[in-house]
Amino acid sequence: MSFREFLANVQSVRDYEKDSLKHVVIGDIKAYIGDINANIGREKGFSFIMFENGEEVFSDLEGVGGYSGIMIKSPHYIGLSISKEEPETEFLSAYYMQSIVKKLFEMDLGTCWINVRNVSSTAKTKILTHDKSNINYLLAFGEANEKALKQKAPQIKVLNTSSSYKTDPYGTKVIEANESDKARLPIGEIVYMHEWGKEAQYEELEQRGVADIFAYVRNAPSYKNIQPCRFILKDGEAYLAIFNPQNKGNYVDAGIMMYTLEGLAKDLGIPGKWTFIKEESDHKEYAIVAKIEL
């Protein structure tokens, strides 16, 4: 499956079947998050924790967690635990959380990010006993309730018109978009050329071979669809910036955005090597947090 097809069809699932997943499926997921914890998480100050007791987690957070206090009920959750709330940790942990979303999507499982950043420490302590860690996000997952899912159309539907997607990455076209996609900012408002605020022209992006990437990257999810991320293109590199860098949640959205941009770039055969940047500047409106080779 191409990354753009994942991006076009993944949904935030809020209704799940009650049955727990099979042990072999849970084991596969545990192995995946275990690799992330061992290879990058421990060094960078975050880890993923599996909660198989979904009913207990839901009971502890009902009325306080989730979107405006509406907690998502699912048979299982994955907790994002961090030991140091620094911009790089927020960024990287979100990047890898979104990779888990893709992993579960490929396993035909539904997922939903749940923000518990503002939930009291007392409530969080009920589900997490690590003294020096904190959970700001949960990922609900399980088998989606198909009846409820059919009532919520995907953001965009795509049609693969090429017999060999790998040799013809432009063989996928959008055939339908709903109101959610129409609410996304236009390309010129999220991509700048050379300097902050100078809107990129679509024709120039086409000449650089990246117009298709940025047409799709607009669909990267962000909390409450605030869309705080912007890009500045300079000499074969795209600098990822965020509005209001004082808001820690914007670094989370940036991590998801970088995961999305990298995946779309690789669809086109671009390695998409990226690095996190801890920018020291006088900008109050925005901050550059990462760059990627395009």
Task: Report d(CA 281, CA 157) in Å as an integer.
Answer: 41
What are the tens digits of pLDDT across the range 42-73?
999 999 999 999 999 999 888 887 776 789 99
> Is residue 36 scored above 60 in pLDDT?
yes
Highest mean pLDDT among 22-31, 49-58, 119-128, 142-151: 22-31
Task: Report d(CA 71, CA 144) in Å as an integer.
Answer: 16
> Which strand (E) or helix (H) includes residue 27?
helix 23-36
Average pLDDT over residues 72-90: 93
Residue 198 token pair: 């100078």
DSSP 65: S
> Which strand (E) or helix (H) includes residue 233?
strand 229-234
Task: Report d(CA 270, CA 165) in Å as an integer.
Answer: 15
> Is residue 130 scored above 60 in pLDDT?
no
Nearest to 18 by CA among 114, 136, 142: 142
Residue 128 banded pLDDT, cuts 50, 70, 90: low
Residue 88 banded pLDDT, cuts 50, 70, 90: very high
Q: Which residue has the higher pLDDT, 91 or 83?
A: 91
What are the tens digits of pLDDT across the range 237-294?
999 999 999 899 999 999 999 999 999 999 989 998 999 997 766 667 899 999 999 8
What are the residues whose beta carbons fall under 8 Å from the beta carbon of 242, sequence distance 6 or more?
A: 228, 229, 230, 250, 251, 253, 254, 286, 287, 289
Q: CA-CA distances (angstroms) from residue 119 to 17, 61, 114, 140?
A: 26, 8, 11, 16
Task: Report d(CA 140, CA 111) in Å as an integer.
Answer: 5
What's this model's pTM, rounded to 2 decimal places? 0.87
Phi, psi of 172 (to 5 degrees): -110, 130
Domains of the chain with bracketed CATH: 17-143 (3.40.109.10), 184-293 (3.40.109.30)
What pLDDT score does 171 carry?
41
| Contact (CB, 8 A) for 75 and 54 | yes
Range of lowest pLDDT (99-113, 120-134, 275-289): 120-134
| Contact (CB, 8 A) for 79 and 133 | no
Task: Report d(CA 187, CA 1) in Å as an integer.
Answer: 25
Range of lowest pLDDT (36-50, 136-150, 151-165, 168-182): 168-182
What are the tens digits of pLDDT across the range 167-223?
334 344 444 444 444 577 888 899 999 999 999 998 999 998 899 899 889 889 998
| Contact (CB, 8 A) for 56 and 77 | no
Average pLDDT over residues 95-108: 97
Task: Report d(CA 263, CA 187) in Å as an integer.
Answer: 18
What pLDDT score does 259 carry?
97
How would you classify residue 243: left for phi > 0, otherwise alpha for psi between -120 and 50, otherwise beta?
A: beta
